[in-house]
Amino acid sequence: MQVSVDRDRCCSSGMCVTNAPEVFDQDGRDSLVRLRQAVVTPDQFEDVRLAAELCPGGAITVTGDEPARAGG
């Protein structure tokens, strides 16, 4: 699973950093989103999915398959 961000749509709310700080960061100069990593691990999936859902700018795109769950 991959994640990408559109900085043109970001409104610097910081919600993504709150939800998934391992994956998202905010630029120190303009507070716009920056990606720490583009490939999402299974452990990070739910946090990243929530971050994309709650992003007020619709700036986060998740692509690829949802990781398989143990026992599922």
The reply on whether position 57 binds ligand SF4 by CB under 6 A is yes
The answer to whether 31 touches 12, Cβ cutoff 8 Å, is yes
Residue choice 3, 5, 23, 48 for contact with ligand SF4 (CB under 6 A): 5
State how far the Cα of 2 lies from the Cα of 66, in Å rounded to an integer. Answer: 10
The reply on whether position 21 binds ligand SF4 by CB under 6 A is no
The reply on whether position 40 binds ligand SF4 by CB under 6 A is no
What's the closest the beta carbon of residue 45 comes to ligand SF4, in angstroms? 17
Contacts of 1 by beta carbon, 8 Å cutoff, 6+ apart? 39, 40, 45, 48, 62, 63, 64, 65, 66, 67
The reply on whether position 11 binds ligand SF4 by CB under 6 A is yes
What's the closest the beta carbon of residue 13 comes to ligand SF4, in angstroms? 3
